[in-house]
Amino acid sequence: MDRRDSIKSIMLGSIGFGVLLEGCVSGVGSEEVENAISKFNYGRTKTELEYDKKLFSIKCFNNHEMNTIKKVCNLILPPNEFGSIELAEVPELIEFMAKDIPSYESPIKMGLKYLDKISKSTHQKSFVECGDSEQKRFLDDMAYPNPDLDSSGQKEEVQWFSLMRNLTMTGYYTSKVGIEELGYKGNTPNIWDGVPQDVLDQYGLSYDKDWLDKCVDQSKRNETAKWDEKGNLIS
């Protein structure tokens, strides 16, 4: 399962593959598209590659909107010694998700416009032009809503921030740097030196030295075992 599919399964459950693209603006060069899609070629069918190429060839958010998304994502998940949302390409992923799932585009854009509206009405400048403390104050009002209301009863800006927080956190922690931060190793081989000696002593057991040398010699752990024609292990 690739990164986009991971996010879909976590965030959306059963949304289908065949969505229609709505309201996006063209404007990405073919060379840029090829560079963007080249890293995702592995494990993709021809149909999936064509679909990805179509998504990479269009643009949903203008530069100001992308800068605002980057700022919001950084406030939600500040950079640390493991990496940052830029390194994990979270803003780019959010735009890709908005193209892949068109129902995301309008709510995200409305939320970005709302940030600029309240910023300009309070400080006479856009959200990205405000200082960190001012930006955090705006987001805090959305991040800590009325606990007595369920998600459907919250204000639209609260629902927007919840969406952005989910996309940011899920996007980061399904990236290479995010997985490294979690310490997830997956199926990695370890070194087994056999049953501990105290356990063997407890049950009055011991290894046969010949088998011990053949089976629990870590200097040979990368060698392929060989057997004779009678099924005897010879190396």
What percent of the chain stands above pLDDT 90? 35
The pLDDT of residue 5 is 46
Helix 105-123 to helix 90-100 angle (10° resolution) is 130
pLDDT higher for 229 or 166? Answer: 166
- Of 28 and 104, the structure prediction assigns the larger pLDDT to 104
Q: Where are the alpha helices (DSSP H) in the chain?
A: 3-11, 30-38, 46-56, 63-76, 90-100, 105-123, 132-143, 156-173, 176-182, 197-202, 209-215
Mean pLDDT to the nearest integer, 52-58? 82
Residue 97, burial from CB neighbour count under 10 angstroms (0-12, 13-18, 19+): buried
Partnered with residue 233 across adjacent β-strands are 227
SS3 131: coil
Average pLDDT, the chain: 78
- CA–centroid distance for 170 within its chain: 5
**For residue 179, how far is the Cα from the chain centroid?**
8
What are the angstrom distances between the C-alpha of 198 and each of 24, 203, 205? Answer: 67, 9, 10
